Amino acid sequence: MSGIAVHRGLSLNRINAMVLRYWYLLLSSWPRLLELVYWPALQIITWGFLQNYISQTSGFFAQAGGTLIGAVILWDILFRGQLGFSISFLEEMWARNLGNLMMSPLKPIEFLISLMIMSLIRLAIGVVPMTLLALFFFGFNFYAIGLPLIAFFCNLIFTSWSVGIFASGLVLRNGLGAESIVWTLMFALMPLACIYYPVSVLPPWLQVVAWMLPPTYVFEGMRALLIDHVFRTELMVDALVINAVLLVASFAIFLALLRSAKRNGSLLSGGE
Amino acid sequence: MKIEDTISRKPPASDPAASAAIDVAHLVKVYKATRAVDDVSFRIARGSITGLLGGNGAGKTTTIAMIMGLVLPTSGRIHVLGFPMPEQSAEVLGRMNFESPYVDMPMRLTVRQNLTIFGRLYAVRNLADRIDRLASDLDLRDFIDRANGKLSAGQKTRVALAKALINEPDLLLLDEPTASLDPDTADWVRQHLENYRKSHNATILLASHNMLEVERLCDRVIIMKRGKIEDDDSPDRIMARYNRDTLEEVFLDVARGRTRESAT
């Protein structure tokens, strides 16, 4: 998997092979499958009841029904999308299989695409039941958001892949000692992405930082849709542009970290 | 979708490195203050089996890792099957393979699943037939549908060898291919490697601490010590030079700093 030969062409067969590898792994372990559903289900139930409670005591939340549940689901798309990407990568580190892949004809871009596909598969397994629970328990139909949902989803998943690529690169370079980055990096975005509150709550200088993050646009867009019943296209377009920059930057950083890993020999050790 | 590159797969005919399976010149690898490989040069003929010997920390694994492209050299150049590495690794990675104790096959996947995935990565044609053939040749049939993590050390080694042979490589790099195997299994693996070299005119470079293995398998031996090449010749000539009957005695001479002259 040469970092230099990245642009020579893609092989769908090699991408399929890697997706098949993760699919086999997923099917071989029921705890892995259960875990995909377990945490999102707990999240939605806890936050759903909280939303119900607040709605009973606050007129605003009663009017803006679903903003909290909607935010929880969209946050989970962002967070689980990144985890789905990164955990598949970590599986290679845990299995000490990275050397086999690096020495095969698999190219970095093919490897990353297969991780993206797996993040979608893992996300579907975890989030679809979550949305059904939201409908069943709290009467919140996530899919009633309609077409804007596609814009929200795409922007969130693109950000999750950028963070996933970056975190995976750090683990590749620094070994499993850096594994905690995979689990915690997305939480660094949490206060700035304004998931549960509007950007206007932040101090002005922090608002500038918040608007550099694509998820901020999505959560603002969601609130505009659920509270004001307006789909703000311009927010989604801005987020898409920033996401494009982030994806290219994260891929370039991944290649640089891969090269650095080859320079310092950490691909051989892969340890702590 | 398969957007194949249009670049010729043949190396330039005028390049002297093209005639060798591996051509390494003035290879240096420095890790911080440690000079793991220090100005190493050698050329390995196609169809040969070469042993890379040396104690722990001699630089064998680093040298092999640089040839594979897993480690970037600090300086020097490497040609594999006529192509410069790592610049044109895409041209050769499909024609080589390796086995090493530093990597594992995924434990939760069955042997057949693992071989299927690697077969697809290497674009092996008639993959099911190829896996059947390997299962027969390497005696994997009894556990082909068992998870890799549930196999014995000997079975895992045979599976790793099957993965290394899945694409019928022109160049096979082996790092301690019979480590932790019982003598019977180790002998069996050596026999298979010998047969593979003969049937495919393949080139094999192996790093090993097993001197009997090297004596039996290798046409040529490169002895490394502290990152440098200490000696490089056929096993017979090296033993004659040190006036020793076995490579193990030569190895001890080299490891303990006895020179050829003082050994004789």
Query: Which residue pairs, CB below 8 angstroms and at least 24 apart, start in B32-37?
Result: B35/B227, B36/B62, B36/B227, B37/B62, B37/B63, B37/B66, B37/B73, B37/B227
Both tokens of B60, joined, read 């064998």
Which of A14, A17, A97 has its CB closest to that of B105? A97
B78-132 tens-digit pLDDT = 999 999 988 888 889 999 999 887 788 889 999 999 999 999 999 999 999 999 9
Q: What is the pLDDT of residue B77?
A: 95
> Is residue B233 helix, strand or coil?
strand
Q: What is the pLDDT of residue B72?
A: 94
Q: What is the pLDDT of residue A7?
A: 46
From A55-64, B202-211, B237-246, the region with the lowest mean pLDDT: A55-64
Interface test with B, best of A29, A92, A97 (most B CBs within 10 A): A97
Q: What is the pLDDT of residue B259?
A: 62
- Contact assignment for B123 to A11 by CB distance below 8 Å: yes
Q: What is the pLDDT of residue B140?
A: 92
- Contact assignment for B65 to A101 by CB distance below 8 Å: no
Interface test with A, best of B3, B29, B72 (most A CBs within 10 A): B72
pTM for the model stands at 0.88
Query: Which residue pairs, CB below 8 angstroms and at least 24 apart, start in A258-262?
Result: A258/A3, A258/A108, A258/A169, A258/A172, A258/A173, A259/A3, A259/B72, A260/A173, A261/A172, A261/A173, A262/A3, A262/B69, A262/B70, A262/B71, A262/B72, A262/B86
Q: Which residue does chain A place closest to B28, by CA atoms?
A: A263
Give CA separation, A103 vs A107, A127, A238, B135, in Å: 10, 35, 39, 23
For A225-241, give the DSSP string.
HHHH----HHHHHHHHH
The number of C-alpha atoms within 13 Å of B233 and in the hemisphere containing its C-beta is: 12
Which of A14, A95, A103 has its CB closest to that of B120? A14
- Give CA–CA dist A81/A85, Å, rounded: 6
pLDDT confidence tier of residue B263, bands split at 50, 70 and 90: low
Give counts: helices (H), strands (E), chain A. 12, 0
Cβ–Cβ contacts within 10 Å for residue B178, how many? 25
Residues of A in contact with B86 (CB under 8 A): 2-4, 262
pLDDT confidence tier of residue B18, bands split at 50, 70 and 90: low
Average pLDDT of span B32-46 = 92
Which of A20, A29, A263 has its CB closest to that of B72? A263
- For chain A positions 69-98, those within 8 Å of chain B (CB to CB) are 91, 95-98
Q: What is the pLDDT of residue B15?
A: 56
Contact partners, residue A194, CB within 8 Å, separation at least 6: A201, A202, A210, A216, A219, A220
Q: What is the pLDDT of residue B6?
A: 37
Task: Note down pLDDT in tens along chain A; length 272 residues.
Answer: 544 344 457 899 999 999 999 999 999 888 888 888 898 898 888 888 888 888 777 666 656 667 888 888 899 999 999 999 999 999 999 988 998 999 999 999 999 999 999 999 999 998 899 889 988 888 888 888 888 889 999 999 999 999 999 999 999 998 888 888 888 989 998 899 999 899 999 999 999 999 999 999 999 999 998 888 899 999 999 999 999 999 999 999 999 999 999 998 888 765 44
Q: What is the pLDDT of residue A54?
A: 80
The answer to whether the beta carbons of residues A33 and A121 sit under 8 Å apart is no
- Contact assignment for A100 to B105 by CB distance below 8 Å: yes
- Contact assignment for B69 to A2 by CB distance below 8 Å: yes
**Phi, psi (degrees; rounded to nearest 5) at A196:** -105, 0
Q: What is the pLDDT of residue B2?
A: 41
Q: What is the pLDDT of residue A3?
A: 42
Q: What is the pLDDT of residue B179?
A: 75
Residues of B in contact with A16 (CB under 8 A): 120
Residues of B in contact with A21 (CB under 8 A): 106, 109, 113, 117
Average pLDDT of span B162-177 = 93
Q: Which residue does chain B place closest to A99, by CA atoms?
A: B103
Average pLDDT of span B246-250 = 86
Q: Which residue does chain A place closest to B33, by CA atoms?
A: A264
Instruction: Assess whether pLDDT exceeds 60 at residue B154.
Output: yes
**Residues in chain B whose beta carbon is closer than 8 A to a beta carbon of chain A?**
1-5, 7, 29, 31, 61-62, 65, 68-72, 86-90, 93-94, 96-98, 100, 102-109, 113, 116-118, 120-123, 147, 163
Of A53, A92, A65, A87, the residue nearest A258 (C-alpha): A92
The answer to whether the beta carbons of residues A137 and A45 sit under 8 Å apart is yes
The answer to whether the beta carbons of residues A90 and A171 sit under 8 Å apart is yes
Of A16, A45, A195, A15, the residue nearest A109 (C-alpha): A15
Q: What is the pLDDT of residue B26?
A: 95
Percent of chain B with pLDDT over 90: 53
Instruction: Kindly report the average pLDDT of chain B as a whole number.
Output: 86
Q: What is the pLDDT of residue B9?
A: 46
Q: What is the pLDDT of residue B190?
A: 87
Report yes or no: A141 at the B interface, CB cutoff 8 Å: no
- Give CA–CA dist B139/B162, Å, rounded: 10
- Which region holds residue A255: left if phi is over 0, alpha if psi is between -120 and 50, else beta? alpha
Interface test with A, best of B32, B70, B114 (most A CBs within 10 A): B70
A105-124 tens-digit pLDDT = 999 999 999 999 999 999 99
